Amino acid sequence: MDLPPHARAVLTGPDFLARPLAGLERDPQRAWMLRRPRAIRRSFVETVVDGGGDEQRWMLLQDDDTRSSFVRDVLSAEPEPDRQAIWLLSQPRAVRESYVAGVIDAR
């Protein structure tokens, strides 16, 4: 996944740069990402964008606050929420890790 240079600078930059742009973003997932702490945004860039990692895998391995905010602010706000994704993201870490190992990493 390639990012334009300005997008990379915003995602890896300080919060005071990213958070105001979240209010201007129309895409709920991008707005959500811009509201995350810098460490979360950097992890996404390093793991998914630069590392070619799986976005679902990255999300499943995030901390409780990150996952629950994604469920609340993005998935549950959709006209037709993805109930399977919501359920999976709400599972205990052991269940999520098992899914990552048995399904995502097995691809």
pLDDT for the residue 92: 98
The model carries a pTM of 0.92
pLDDT for the residue 35: 97
Co-location of 33 and 48 in the same domain: yes
Q: How many CB atoms lie within 10 A of CB 18?
A: 20
Co-location of 59 and 48 in the same domain: no
pLDDT for the residue 83: 98
Q: Which residue has the higher pLDDT, 5 or 39?
A: 39
Co-location of 19 and 41 in the same domain: yes
How many structural domains does the chain have?
2
Return all residues near 44 (Cβ < 8 A) that are at least 6 apart.
Answer: 11, 33, 36, 58
d(CA 48, CA 71): 19
Co-location of 85 and 63 in the same domain: yes
Co-location of 99 and 58 in the same domain: yes
pLDDT for the residue 107: 87
How high does pLDDT run on average in the chain?
95
Co-location of 58 and 44 in the same domain: no
